[in-house]
Amino acid sequence: MSASDTSLSKRLLSGVAIAVIALVIAACSDEKKEAASTTPAETATSADATTTASTAEAPAASTETKPAAGTEVAQASTPAAEVELPKSEGSVDVQKLMEPGPLPEMALGKADAPVTIVEYMSMTCPHCAAFHNNTFEAIKAKYIDTGKVRFIVREFPFDPRAAAAFMLARCAPEGQYFPMISMLFKQQRQWAAAENGRDALLQMSKLAGFTQESFEACLTNQKLLDDVNAVMQRGAKEFGVQSTPTFFVNGEHYSGDMSVDVMSALIDGKL
């Protein structure tokens, strides 16, 4: 491995963990943030390219009280008519949204499902982790596995560790992208806030079948990093993604974490 390759891997996983988490919590809030004046692709020749989007000033933290994580599933029996739906932030051209991007689409569900959900997310975003840890599996069982929803995940990393996590998920064996994403979200605090993010991610990657060599090879793949950044840039420029998680439900734009009840109501309204 060359010195430049080693430097790329270290830059992806270095930094003060507490500062990274503080920045990401602001960046992935449910409030809109101003679009960054520069985009990841413009600086993608450096491993620090993924920090570009997070340099835009983040808004004040939302004062909205969110339900405790453990209450979301318990509320799943709430009648749809009583669920307060989030306000749509507009819509995008579905045909354009579904055009091929720089990376193969990571999707679950039937290609001809009546509802298509595209999620832009960041691996170090606590709100994204909350959605995938508390809501996603119930939605998968109720709608994706039954042929009603096609669910697509797209990368929108706000910092180098998020980019590294996405790269490792992309380098995982075929069919293991979603399991890798799930594992990393469940253990988010262990690696995203670790003083040595590289070692923390290496240990988790080994559980997924990586070796030291395959781990290093993945994180020194400049083209893969550039492509991850390009997915983010396209989401920001073409579809107005400004925060994570952002969902497009049949083209309708919604931002922020959602409970099982809320997402179920949105889906039911499209069926």
What CATH number has the domain spanning 90-269?
Answer: 3.40.30.10
Instruction: Give me the chain's average pLDDT, please.
Output: 80
User: Exposed, middle or buried, 256 (CB in 10 Å: 0-12/13-18/19+)?
Assistant: buried
**Dist. CA 98–CA 150, nearest whole Å:** 12
- Work out whether strand 149-155 and strand 252-255 pair parallel, antiparallel, or are unpaired: unpaired
What integer pLDDT is reported at residue 205 of this predicted model?
95
Task: Encode pLDDT of 202-229 as tens digits.
Answer: 999 998 999 999 999 999 999 999 999 9
What integer pLDDT is reported at residue 243 of this predicted model?
96
What integer pLDDT is reported at residue 36 of this predicted model?
35
Q: What angle do CA 116, 119, 120 make, to 5 degrees?
A: 145
From edge to edge, which strands make up the β-sheet containing 106-108? 106-108, 149-155, 115-121, 246-249, 252-255
Task: Encode pLDDT of 183-199 as tens digits.
Answer: 999 999 999 999 999 99
What integer pLDDT is reported at residue 28 of this predicted model?
64
Task: Encode pLDDT of 11-47 as tens digits.
Answer: 555 443 433 444 444 446 444 443 333 333 333 333 3
Residue with tokens 């920001």: 236
**Dist. CA 222–CA 44, nearest whole Å:** 9
Helices 197-207/212-219 angle, 10° precision: 120
Q: Which helix (H) or strand (E) element contains residue 122?
A: none
What integer pLDDT is reported at residue 82 of this predicted model?
80
First to last CA, the chain: 52
**Who has greater pLDDT, 1 or 150?**
150
Q: Is residue 83 scored above 50 in pLDDT? A: yes
Question: Which 8-state DSSP code applies to residue 91?
Answer: B
According to DSSP, the residues that pair with 107 across neighbouring strands are 152
**Who has greater pLDDT, 46 or 182?**
182
What are the residue boundaries of the structural domains of the chain, listed by start? 90-269
